[in-house]
Chains A and B, each alone.
Chain A
Amino acid sequence: MTTKTPEVSPEARFAPRATPETQPYWDATAAGRLDLPRCRPCDQVFFYPRSSCPQCGSIDLEWVTCSGKGLLHTYVVSHRPAPGFPVPTVIAVVELEEGPRMMTNLVDADPETLELDMPVEVRFEQRTGAAVPVFAPVPENAGKEVAR
């Protein structure tokens, strides 16, 4: 994948291509997991994947699989069409349960009903070049014990 000649379609502009240090991230998304590096000395999970801890500089890292749960930190609703994207597109920053924040899209949501800090959960959408992590609102009753 990493040596593929870049495509020239309009959608290719939005197609991520892994580098050696980010390959495990994209391998995980292809398998339906959100994996991020964790610094063993700091016990911090960080985004985006890189070869040393941005907090302490350690290279003693391991990959962990995130829960995929987070909160909607901020967003805009883009009314400008990007090739291959719905209009409007919700461009958002999600704060993961593990701490770091990441850029993403909010999907399966009415833009009018979004609220900051609402719970969201990860999904993976096959886009040009990669499986991309996006987030959707958690249904009202999700995570709650259902009384029987």
Chain B
Amino acid sequence: MSREVVIMGAAETDIGKLPTTSTLELHVEGARRALADANLSKDQVDGIASVSVPGPIQVSHALGITPTYVDGTGVGGSSFLFHVRHATAAIKAGYADVVLITHGESGRSRVGAPPYPRANDSVMAQFEMPYGIVGPPTSFTVPARRFLHETDNTLEQLAEVAVAQRRWASRNPRAMFRDEVTVDDVLGAKMIADPFTLLMCCLVTDGGGALVVASREFAEAHGSDKPLVHILGTGEAATTPLISQMEDMTRCKQFTLSSQAAFKESGTSPADIDHLMIYDAFAHVPLYGLEDMGFVGRGESGAFVADGHTSPGGRLPMNTNGGGMSYTHTGMYGMFAIQESVRQLRGEAAAQVDDVSTSLVLGNGGMFMSAATLILANQP
């Protein structure tokens, strides 16, 4: 019989500007808090998952854990959703009982963090970087104009994504930006990569967090009294490391593939989802997500957001922590999207939505490079 798998512990570190905390320490602090949340000791952990820097071995050694299941999948900001999926499979297979998934990133202060070097002979350095791309704001944004053109979504609707998420952030004391904004504020903000203004781009912060994933059986026998979050379905996919090589610049294929797998495994459809987290590095990404996962039809995402359906009081609350544009974004935001789903399902979110029983998390990695989907619930 297949083992049911749950998230039994979840916690974030302090977030924002943390100039005296190293990258490794953010992992370690997140892990300690998540283990405390689950009421486990480090010695009950037999699996560890983390991205390649500082790496799962460094993190587990710093914590004093000797893992017998190790996952170092590093596919950008969606990596932590991949880790949850892989941990679920490992636990079902009997390879591990308790997997600790950690994130920590000194994205803003760069303490104990590697530089962002890209070897000049890498594929990206040869075929994209020579054009003056200064990080994600000038590359992730490139498909958007084509998307607006082909789908008839408008620039004002793109700005509405930032407006809607700031409404949620205004209800969250931990969010970095909390003042509500208007479409005019967004469109009138400092221009970064036309048509993207500063308010359509994500933050750059320091922070971390961790998850404890285990079999339901183990969690019920050993864990805290916190509500368990059940992992109903997962999916993952990846396409291209170069954004210019997307098969179709107006659709993100891995959003579709990973969500279809998660819907199939969980036996759910978009109509069953009460709460949604879509990785929002930039304002266009949630619009792709809504369309590519089938929450709305082609070209309907902009109006859906502008009409308030994803805002407080709307029928599909989305990015309720304020998202990467207003809450926090360390560089690999996926961990924070999962954390907010867990909080909503436990009923302990800052901007708590009534009656959340299912939540979907869509993670993006790189510039439309990889994606993973988790469908989580408060009941098995």
Contact = CB atoms under 8 A, between A and B. Distances in A.
Given A48-B245, A104-B131, A111-B194, A74 B137 contact: no
A12 interface: yes
Given A78-B132, A105-B132, A129 B120 contact: yes
Given A14-B130, A16-B126, A76 B244 contact: no
19 contacts: A16-B121, A17-B125, A48-B245, A74-B142, A74-B143, A74-B146, A76-B194, A79-B192, A80-B138, A82-B138, A84-B132, A89-B132, A91-B132, A93-B142, A103-B133, A103-B242, A116-B149, A129-B120, A130-B130
B121 A102 contact: no
A13 B117 CA distance: 8
- The secondary-structure label for the interface of chain A is mixed
Nearest to B123: A48
Interface in A103-126: 103-105, 111, 116
Interface in B138-167: 138-139, 141-146, 149
Interface in A1-25: 2, 6, 12-19, 22
- The secondary-structure label for the interface of chain B is mixed
B126 A14 contact: no
A84 B131 CA distance: 10
Given A73-B249, A91-B193, A82 B132 contact: yes
Given A76-B194, A77-B193, A105 B131 contact: yes
B128 interface: yes
Given A73-B146, A103-B242, A80 B192 contact: yes
A92 B145 CA distance: 10
Among B137, B144, B190, B193, the most chain A Cβ lie within 10 Å of the Cβ of B193
A19 B119 CA distance: 11
B51 to A, nearest CB: 23
Among A16, A17, A18, A127, the most chain B Cβ lie within 10 Å of the Cβ of A16
A95 to B, nearest CB: 10
A74 B145 contact: yes
A93 B245 CA distance: 9
Contact of A76 (B129, B195, B249): B195
Contacts of A6: 120
